[in-house]
Structure 1
Amino acid sequence: MLTYTDEQFEGIDFSGQDFREAELTRCTFTKCKFINTSLEEVTTSGCRFMECDFHGASLNASIHTESAFMNCRFEHANLFVSKFSFCKMTGSDFSGAELNGITIVQGDWSYTNLRHVKLDKQNLKEVRFVESDLMGASLEKADLRKCDFTRANLTQTNLSGADLRGAELEGIPVHVLNVKGARMDTAQAIMLLRSLGAKVE
């Protein structure tokens, strides 16, 4: 089993290698490639991945705690039952990624590409999605309390049955929201009514 602590890697090509069950602690990877790499059950703690490419990588059952994946590419990666706790994912691209069973505990997922992902019934409380692209995503019956969706793209996003209480929706055209059956707080309900032309007194 691979174990790296306080290591730094830049421009290294790890594509196709076996990192299964590896333990990475406070390591920094800059512009490294993990294309089709086996990262099943890998654990990262306090690591930083900057502009790394995880295209087609297998991260099934991987666990990440307070790690950062900034401007990384996860196209067609397998993140089945992976867990990200208090991680910073800003600017990363998840096009075509498998996210079934993923666990996200808070963290910052701002500016990410999450188009058409399926996160139904997920507990996503207090996650930051500022200016993220969630077009066509499904968040049906998800717990989205106190999430920050400021200026996020929620066009054709399925929010039916979701709990949106306390979520920040600033800068979002309310008419694009599919909120059938969603739970909203009073301020959100008033905002929705006013956007539809109602006079709320």
Structure 2
Amino acid sequence: MEDKKSSLEIISPNLPNELDRLTIFDKNIQSEDSFTMGIISNALVENQIAEHVSFEKIIFKNVTFHNVSLKYLDLVDVRFENCDLSNMDLRESVLHKVEMVNCKMVGTNMSESTLRNVQFDNCNGSYALFRFLNCKQVNFKNSSLCNADFYKAKFLKVGFNNTNLQQTGMSGAKLKGIDLSSCKLEGLGVTVDDLDGCIVSPEQVMSFSNLLGLIIKS
């Protein structure tokens, strides 16, 4: 199946070939701190609370975040590789040209965040909170978003490719023009109005028979 990343024209992070290692989490991060040009790897980040922190041209690699709240986070040209962001509080953050690759995001709270040119590849975002998310040029690929919550999220040029959306809540998130045909949709929480113009496979229509008031005769 064609990868929708190219058709979405998502801009990848602009990162230098070589970056110096940063050890910024050896001390507590303060609100409004700003960090640029570096790689943070093989680290455990825990018990950090700050707001309006910014990262630009940063690679996070093999980093585990535990008991971390970074509300209003600003990320530009950032890549996360093999990181665990589970249960992080990232509400009202702004992500631009960001990649999440092989990351664990179980229960991560990104509600009311703004995403532009963001790619999630092979990530586990089960039970994550994406309520009121504002997305443009965003792709979820080969990922699990089961039981996640996209209540009233705004989607513009968003792709869901080979992604598990079982029991995912999307009430109030208009899906017109979005192709879900490669995804698992059993138990997807939507209304008939939300589905107007959504692209699904013939087999997936069965999943929405009750919602549509259909009685399927065998």
- TM bin, normalised by shorter chain, reads 0.7 to 0.9
Partner of 1:56: 67
Match of 1:100 among 111, 125, 148: 111
How far the C-alpha of 1:90 sits from its partner, in A, is 1.9
Q: CA 1:62/1:174 → structure 2, altered by over 3 Å: closer, same or farther?
A: closer
Q: Say if 2:167 and 2:186, in contact at 8 Å, map to a contact too.
A: no
Structure number with the bigger relative contact order (C-alpha 8 A, sep ≥ 6) is 2
Identity percentage over the alignment? Answer: 23
How far the C-alpha of 1:24 sits from its partner, in A, is 1.4
Residue 195 of structure 1 pairs with residue 193 of structure 2 = no
TM-score, with length taken from structure 2: 0.74
Return 14-23 or 49-58, whichever deviates more: 14-23
Q: Say if 1:81 and 1:102, in contact at 8 Å, map to a contact too.
A: yes
How many positions carry a matched residue from both structures? 190
Alignment of 1:108-123 (within 5 A): 108-123=119-134
Q: Say if 1:60 and 1:81, in contact at 8 Å, map to a contact too.
A: yes
Partner of 1:151: 162
Partner of 1:179: 190
Q: Say if 1:56 and 1:74, in contact at 8 Å, map to a contact too.
A: no
Partner of 1:126: 137
TM-score, with length taken from structure 1: 0.79
Counterpart-to-counterpart distance in 2, 1:132 and 1:97 = 14
**Structure 1 alignment gaps of length 5 or more:** 1-5
RMSD after superposition: 2.8
Q: Say if 1:174 and 1:192, in contact at 8 Å, map to a contact too.
A: no
Q: CA 1:42/1:128 → structure 2, altered by over 3 Å: closer, same or farther?
A: same
How far the C-alpha of 1:195 sits from its partner, in A, is 3.4
Match of 2:181 among 134, 159, 170: 170
Ranges of 4+ aligned residues in structure 1 off by more than 4 Å: none
Counterpart-to-counterpart distance in 2, 1:44 and 1:119 = 21
Partner of 2:15: none
Q: CA 1:39/1:194 → structure 2, altered by over 3 Å: closer, same or farther?
A: closer
**Amino acid aligned to 1:48:** I
Residue 72 of structure 1 pairs with residue 83 of structure 2 = yes
Structure with the largest fraction of strand: 2
**Structure 2 alignment gaps of length 5 or more:** 1-17
